[in-house]
Structure formats: C-alpha cells, structure tokens
C-alpha cells in the first residue's frame, strides 16, 4: 500500500508521499515514490505513484528514454514537453505501455498490476496543474472546488482534508494539514510508513521551494502529532452537550 497526496492551491502545489513498499507484512522495504524533474526557471514537475512497483519503475524508465509521439513522430521526454497537459499525456502513454506490457504476466501470477499517479507542476508560460493519471492512459485534473487529489490508501486521511483544506489556505498551513492527513493514515495502515517525501512549489516560482524527506525519528513530526492530538481533545469539549432525550442533565 501507499498514500500520496497532492494539493493544488491558490499559492501553489504541495505533494507528499510515503515510502513503504510491501509484498506481505513479512516483506517490507523503502522505495522513493515521489519523483522530481526540475529545470529552475523553466519547469518544475513531480510524480507520485501508488500501486505495483515494477510497473511504476518500468514507466519511469520508459519516460527517461523518451516516447515517440504518434502524432508528430518526435521522441518526447519531460524535459521538453511544451505544456503540463502534453506532459500528462506523455506520462499516461508511458504508464499505459508499462501496464499493457506487464499486466498479463502479473495477472497469471495473481499479482495486482494497477498503478495510479499524481502529477503536478508548472512549465514557464503555462498554468500550474495537478493530475491523477490511471493505468488505462486516462487522467483527471484537480480543480479549486476540491483542491486535493489522493492515491493509494485514501480514506483515513480524507476527513481532515474535508474539514480544513480550501483553495485559499496558505501553503505552509496546507503542508501541516497534509502531514496530519499522512499521520492519521500511518496510524491505521501499517503498509503506509516513514520516511515521508514532500515538495512545495509556489506558482510562478518554477523551482521546488521545499524538497524534503522526513525521517522516522523526526522531532517536528512528533510535535505535530502531539499538538494535533491535544487540539482534538479540546475540539470535542468545545462542542455543546447533546440536548437529546434525558441525556444532558440541566440541558
């Protein structure tokens, strides 16, 4: 399992991914799931992946070698795509090719072959974008009404996003909310685990303002978890006692 989160906000982009890979609880390892491409001042891109690791790595290798665009006949890589939309199309083609090549063998072995990606970034002259890309080669784009996309183990970390994530939240506040979303997921699913990789990119910045790995013993992350838990206990006490039936003496 995996949990990756992408936030596309008024001020920019936040992406966070865990690093745990497992084939059964007795075969656990750490693999980077947040893959970056940056040409400062020109383009900044991040791909986060959830799903079969071999399909993901094959897709990344295909992307690295470049793919021939069936319309133009040219070999395309993420270093030269003209727009984020064309970049998403390229990644989707690479993912579909890796999936189509490998999934028949994986199905025979009863191994899940699916991969879902988050792809965010900006190219000079274009808008900042965030996409969710599926192994069928299709994708959807994040919009301001629900300014986040999730892949992998998405449910545990969603309520905090529903409660607190809005398009106009400050980038550093959004990062904190995103880390709480990761924390609540790691508590409940052992297949999502530290270290965490994260990036922050401001609109028009065309570089990673922040590119960081949070290690398992990180003091700030523990502080964030403790502060949050204390706030949760204050939060339910701030709610009035239910006025139902004979439940609330004096209410």
- Minimal distance, residue 179 CB to a copy of itself, in Å: 7
Contact map string, positions 188 to 227, toward a copy of itself, x by CB under 8 A: x---------x-x--------xxxx-x-----x--xx--x
- Minimal distance, residue 213 CB to a copy of itself, in Å: 9
Residue pair 198/175 in contact (Cβ under 8 Å)? The answer is yes
Q: Which CB sits closer to a copy of itself, 6 or 157?
A: 157
Handedness of CA 188, 190, 192, 195 (dihedral sign): positive
Burial class (CB in 10 A: 0-12, 13-18, 19+), 88: buried
Q: Which CB sits closer to a copy of itself, 71 or 215?
A: 215
Q: How many residues bind a copy of itself (CB under 8 A)?
A: 50
Cβ neighbours around 129 below 10 Å, total: 20
Footprint of a copy of itself on 83-142 (CB under 8 A):
none
What's the DSSP call for residue 5? E
- Minimal distance, residue 208 CB to a copy of itself, in Å: 9
Token pair 């006949």 in the structure block, residue: 73
Q: Which residues contact 137 (CB under 8 A, 6 or more apart)?
A: 92, 93, 95, 96
Q: Dig out the tokens for 157 from the structure.
A: 């970390």
- Minimal distance, residue 185 CB to a copy of itself, in Å: 8
- Minimal distance, residue 251 CB to a copy of itself, in Å: 9
Q: Which CB sits closer to a copy of itself, 51 or 157?
A: 157
Cβ neighbours around 114 below 10 Å, total: 14
Q: Show the CA angle centred on residue 191, arms to residues 186 and 195, nearest 5°.
A: 60
- Minimal distance, residue 165 CB to a copy of itself, in Å: 9
Give the residue, chosen from 26, 71, 145, 162, that forms a contact with a copy of itself under the rule CB under 8 A. Answer: 162
- Compute the distance between CA of residue 20 and CA of residue 17 in angstroms, rounded to an integer: 9
Q: Is the peptide bond before 195 cis (omega within 30 degrees of 0)?
A: yes
Percent helix, strand and coil across the chain, each to the nearest 5: 35, 30, 40
Give the residue, chosen from 173, 194, 203, 205, that forms a contact with a copy of itself under the rule CB under 8 A. Answer: 173
Give the residue, chosen from 145, 217, 234, 250, that forms a contact with a copy of itself under the rule CB under 8 A. Answer: 234
Residues that bind a copy of itself (CB under 8 A): 155-160, 162-164, 172-173, 175-177, 179-180, 184, 187-188, 198, 200, 209-212, 214, 220, 223-224, 227-229, 231-248
């Amino acid at each position: 399992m995996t949990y990756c989160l992408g936030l596309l906000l008024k001020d920019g982009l936040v992406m966070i991914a865990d690093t745990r890979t497992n084939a059964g609880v007795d075969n656990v390892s750490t693999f980077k799931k947040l893959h970056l491409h940056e040409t400062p001042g020109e383009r900044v891109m991040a791909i986060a992946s959830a799903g079969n690791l071999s399909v993901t790595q094959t897709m990344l290798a295909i992307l690295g070698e470049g793919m021939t665009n069936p319309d133009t006949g040219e070999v395309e890589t993420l270093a030269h795509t003209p727009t984020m939309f064309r970049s998403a199309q390229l990644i989707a083609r690479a993912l579909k090719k890796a999936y189509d090549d490998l999934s028949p063998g994986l199905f025979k072995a009863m191994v899940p072959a699916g991969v879902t990606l988050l792809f965010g970034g900006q190219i000079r002259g274009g808008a900042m974008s965030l996409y969710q890309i599926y192994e069928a080669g299709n994708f959807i784009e994040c919009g301001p009404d629900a300014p986040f996309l999730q892949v992998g183990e998405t449910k545990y970390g969603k309520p905090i996003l529903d409660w607190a994530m809005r398009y106009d939240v400050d980038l550093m506040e959004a990062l904190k909310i995103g880390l709480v979303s990761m924390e609540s997921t790691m508590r409940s699913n052992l297949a999502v685990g530290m270290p965490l990789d994260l990036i922050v990119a401001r609109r028009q910045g065309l570089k990673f303002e922040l590119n960081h790995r949070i290690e398992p013993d990180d003091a700030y992350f523990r502080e964030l978890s403790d502060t949050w838990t204390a706030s949760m206990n204050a939060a339910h006490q701030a709610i009035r006692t239910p006025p139902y039936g004979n439940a609330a003496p004096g209410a």
